[in-house]
Structure 1
Amino acid sequence: MKLPVFIARRYFFSRYSATAVNILAGISIAGLVVGTGALLVILAAFNGLEDLVKSFYASFDPDYKVEIKIGKNFPYQAEKYDELIHWDEIESVSQVLEERVLLRYREQEFIATARGVDSNYHRTTGIADAVYRGQYKTQHPDAVVGIGVAYNLGMSYVGRTETIEMFVPRASVKNLSRPDRAFHQDIVFPAGLFAVQPEFDVRYILTDLERLQRMSEQESTVSAIEIKVRDGVRASRIQEKLRDFFGDEFHVRNRIEQQAAFFKVMRAEGLITYLIFTFILLISSFTLLGSLSMMILDKKKDTHTLWFLGMPRSQLRQVFFAEGLLITFVGAVIGLALGGVFAFLQHYFGLVTMGAGYVVEAYPVRLNVLDVFKVLATVLVIGISISFLASRRV
């Protein structure tokens, strides 16, 4: 294989004047550079977008969420579950109860979900950082309102000068002929507005857990136990430990599993985009097939000479196969380098901006080492396949 590689290198680094073959080889390299760099940048952009979305959900979703498999709510067994806070791996534990409520602000009414939270909730999630107006205060009679809920209520001010009436259905009342007796009623003050994701912002109002438990006639009952673990804790290990602790009656979901449908869609979109750009790269690589085919014709005299000197056809084919690999490798390396430099500059300097009105100024990117190898492997597979097909013509 040494002689075919040596000849291929001589052809590649030939100092002859520009010919159609050399120009086409240059176009092949350029196509591979652009395709490889674009594919790497696209994958980095999807990584950055996924990180951005995860940061949004981190404001509302805990590291781990425990919910009962059958039913909606379950009794909180303090003598058992309070043990969690003493685990070395766990930083914070909070209780959550969710109930559908009717909200009334002045003349506007809106049906929302009241999430009753305890005093640890802001430590378990990043919700306090998502409050963009007012303060995070959920102890009765204060509440924090999603901006979508506030919009539907026509509410733009926060503080003790504003009041929201909250109606919770009485569990003990079955006859609705007297609506005035069918609901528990309370007044809360909107201490702040939070903005996380539209699906959360238009749905939730955060209020005091114990007050919501009394209003819904569900003392010591919760919808979920939310857990934040300490930095550096192995995710798979603590999740299995939690599952063993709670038993088969409960789901223990990590942050990805809590939004499984959304992240499945994101990954499917990423895969489809990867396949589309791979197909574009494949089409652009056909210039490599043309370049090698023309080179075989151009070097026909050389191949005849080598044939007469005793070089077998298999080695003659290896010459042009090695030539194709060399073109592919050079194009891939340059493309990866340029794509990596662009991703680096985008990450630190924000070359491509998102425009006004977005939560981030520049498009987020994250370069993953595995993606670099994935792109390199993709390009090499395409290049090897085309080089093999072209070399069969010798």
Structure 2
Amino acid sequence: MQISFFIAKRYVKKQSKITLIYRLSRLACYSMVLSTAILLLVLATMNGMQKLLSALFYTYTPALKIECQTGKTFLSNKELKKQIMDVAGVTDIVEVLEVTALMRLLDHQAIVTIKGVSNNFTISDFYKNSKRMDGVAFLGDDRAKAIAGIGVAQFVQWTTHNNKVEVFYPNQNGHHLNKPYKRTTLEIDGLFSIAPSIDCKYIIAPIRFVEGLTNGLKKRTHWEVVIEATSEVQNMQINIEKLLPNGYKVTNQTEQNATRRRAIFIERLSVCFIFALVLLLASLHIFFMLCMSILQKQKNIAILVSLGATPREIGKIFFYNGMLVALKGILYGLMLGWGLSFLQQKFGIVTFTKTSHRVAYPVEIHAFDCVYTTIVTILFSLLATLWPVKRAIQLAKKSLDGIPAVQ
């Protein structure tokens, strides 16, 4: 064991007489414990919220989505569809044609997105992940029926006895000054619910109705690829991309929610930066503790120099002293943060109210969070020891030259 490390270890240990330096050392250790645990808890909370929000977004996002890169729609290609269906892991393809139209029910009206779907809509992720989905048997008929999101139905005050709505869409056949809008009747046969942002926006109707409304025969907004649960999405995406002609693209759930994920990442980065500053403030306790320790142990420095210790070894003593305090605080902080996160995951101690019932606050701890917290804390602790170590070396050099240190 190096003599510098041995002496630093003795400085950290509790002496028979409790001094101001010992109290400052304990304070620095406790501040590192608290700041490390807080940063780890914040990261675990952000992980839980990210997982929760991702689950909410992915409920209505298909596993793989094929769309046109430039235009809004593309023509349905049976040959291309058959080739994609032959890819291993692909179960089926749901064809979708979406348009934005004005819906009116008596004196109430709303701008809605009509999602025209093919007859195999019931195998889609949208249908399977819905909290509520009334009968969609009308998809196989030629009737002008649809199901509306709960938010849309509430806005226009839909009832089972008053379920016929008027749909207005710009006329696509040239310029019609007397008749600029196409007007048709649509019967709302039921409701669905999957997520508030979708419930307040969408109506699901047969794709033939939307084709007739837009004069877009065989046009599609996108294809929703239904895959097996055990399939590897990335490999399937690569295989499908090889089959697509120029002008098409296939995106997975992460890419479809790129904006939301970027917003979550920026929020996470901001929170980490703010709490890293809290760690920086906590490391100042180590700085002041070392400064006070150097002032108190000037005689000890002179004695060690007279015994043959070099200025570099003197600096190592105070460096090891500060790092031992920091590492002890980091270790206990990681244990405290991980323990609290585990208790929250296991027992749901902290809860919040959601739709009249209490839900445990989502927390999920990752190994990378522990590594990140440890690296940041050690880095700030190293910065906190630089000036005190430099000062200790200067005092040792003055003692070595026989010049009394003047403060």
**Contact between 2:146 and 2:190, CA under 8 Å: does it hold in 1?**
yes
Cα distance between partner residues in 1 of 2:224 and 2:161: 29
User: Percent identity over the alignment?
Assistant: 24
Correspondence 1:149 to 2:130: no
Partner of 2:400: none
Residue matched to 1:209: 207
Correspondence 1:194 to 2:193 = yes
Distance in 2 (CA, whole Å) between partners of 1:303 and 1:137 is 89
- Tell me whether 1:317 sits opposite 2:315 in the alignment: yes
Normalization by structure 1: what TM-score?
0.90
Cα distance in 2, alignment partners of residues 205 and 329 from structure 1: 58
- Give the equivalent residue in structure 2 for 1:220: 218
Q: CA deviation at 1:150?
A: 2.0
Deviation at 1:11, TM superposition (A): 1.6
Note the C-alpha offset of 1:93.
2.5
In 2, Cα distance between equivalents of 1:299 and 1:145 = 78
**Residues 356, 197 of structure 1: alpha-carbon distance in 2 compared, 3 angstrom cutoff:** closer
Query: Residue 97 of structure 1 aligns to a residue in which SS?
Result: strand
Deviation, structure 1 residue 374: 0.7
1:9-51 deviation line (CA, Å, top 9, x unaligned): 2221233332211111111111111111111111111111111
Deviation at 1:234, TM superposition (A): 4.1
Following TM superposition, by how much is the alpha carbon of 1:310 offset from its aligned partner in structure 2, in angstroms?
0.7
Mapped partners of 2:230, 2:328: distance in 1:
40
Q: Which amino acid aligns with 2:151?
A: G
- Taking a change above 3 Å as real, the CA distance of residues 234 and 9 of structure 1, as seen in their structure-2 partners, is farther
Deviation at 1:275, TM superposition (A): 0.4
Partner residue in 2 for 1:337 = 335
> For the residues of structure 2 that align with 1:325 and 1:216, how far apart are their CA atoms?
71
Contact 2:148 2:192 in 1 (8 A): yes
Per the alignment, residue 405 of structure 2 pairs with none
Distance 1:378 1:100 in 2: 49
Partner Cα distance (1:254, 1:160) in 2: 41
Computing the radius of gyration over CA atoms, which structure comes out larger, 1 or 2?
2
Once the two structures are superposed, the pairs formed by residues 1-394 of structure 1 within 5 Å of their partners are 2-132=2-132, 134=134, 139=139, 141-155=144-158, 157=159, 162-172=163-173, 174-178=175-179, 182-198=181-197, 200-231=198-229, 233-357=231-355, 361-394=359-392
1:221-263 deviations in whole A, cap 9, x for unaligned? 2100122443454444333322222133123222222122222
TM-aligned CA deviation for residue 386 of structure 1: 1.2
State the one-letter code of the partner of 2:279: L
Give the Å deviation of 1:133. 7.2
Query: What is the CA–CA distance in structure 1 between the aligned matches of 2:374 and 2:55, rounded to whole Å?
Result: 29
1:376 CA displacement: 0.9
> Any conservation in 2 of the 1:4–1:315 contact (CA below 8 Å)?
yes
| RMSD over equivalenced CA pairs, Å | 2.4
Is the contact made by 1:137 and 1:192 (CA closer than 8 Å) also made in structure 2? no
Of residues 370-379 and 350-359 in structure 1, the stretch that sits farther from structure 2 once superposed is 350-359
- Counterpart of 2:166, as a letter, is E
- Distance (whole Å) between structure 1 residues aligned to residue 60 and residue 391 of structure 2: 61
SS in 1 for 2:62: coil
Separation in 2, partners of 1:201, 1:332: 47
- 1:138 CA drift (Å): 6.5
One-letter identity of the residue aligned with 2:251: R
Q: Is the 8 A contact 1:58 1:125 kept in 2?
A: no
Q: Indicate conservation of the 8 Å contact 1:58/1:126, yes or no.
A: no
2:398 counterpart residue number? none
Structure 2 letter corresponding to 1:46:
M
Shift of 1:358: 7.7
8 A contact 2:4–2:313 mirrored in 1: yes
Counterpart code for 2:248: F
Structure 2 unmatched runs, 5+: 393-407
Give the SS at the match of 2:359. coil
Q: How far is the alpha carbon of 1:6 from its aligned partner?
A: 1.8
- Report the Cα offset of residue 130 of structure 1: 2.9
Residues 207 and 299 (structure 1), Cα distance of their counterparts in 2 relative to 1, 3 Å cut: same
Q: Which moved more, 1:143-152 or 1:311-320?
A: 143-152
Contact 2:166–2:183, Cα closer than 8 Å, also in 1: no
Cα distance, 1:377 vs. partner? 0.7
Report the 3-state secondary structure (helix = DSSP H, G, I; strand = E; otherwise coil) of the residue aligned with 1:32: helix
**AA of the residue aligned to 1:365:** V
Rounded Cα–Cα distance in structure 1 between residues aligned with 2:81 and 2:318: 69
Please identify, of 345-354 and 27-36, the stretch whose mean Cα deviation from structure 2 is larger: 345-354
Assess if the C-alpha contact under 8 Å between 1:160 and 1:189 holds in 2: no
Amino acid at match of 1:351: I
Preserved contact between residue 56 and residue 197 of structure 1 (Cα < 8 Å): no
Name the SS for the 1:83 alignment partner. helix
Distance 2:276 2:42 in 1: 11
Alpha-carbon distance between aligned partners in 1 of 2:344 and 2:305, rounded to the nearest angstrom: 52
Report how far residue 318 of structure 1 moved: 0.8
Distance of 1:231 and 1:307 partners within structure 2: 71
Q: CA deviation at 1:314?
A: 0.6
